[in-house]
Amino acid sequence: MEQWFQEDGATAHIAGEQVYRDPVPRDIEQLKTNIIRVIHAISRDRIGGMFANLQQRYERCVGLAGSYLEHIM
């Protein structure tokens, strides 16, 4: 099963701008190609930071017994 994560700190609007330009996708295959291009441009350090942040959020969530944590982070 494939998993896709939005880069931490990037809004959907910013991520969308990168996917919908150069070249502007004319069909689903071009859109998929652009998505893959943008994903491959993310550095290993950025991905490592994203997983570290995910781990922190997971640990906080477990510590709060699954309650809402956006006000804490």
The DSSP line for 33-69 is: HHHHHHHHTS-HHHHHHHHHHHHHHHHHHHHTTT---
Per-residue model confidence as pLDDT tens digits over 10-31? 555 566 788 888 789 999 999 9
Instruction: Read off the pTM.
Output: 0.55
* Per-residue model confidence (pLDDT) at position 12: 56
Summarised one tens digit per residue, pLDDT across range 49-63 is 888 888 888 888 888
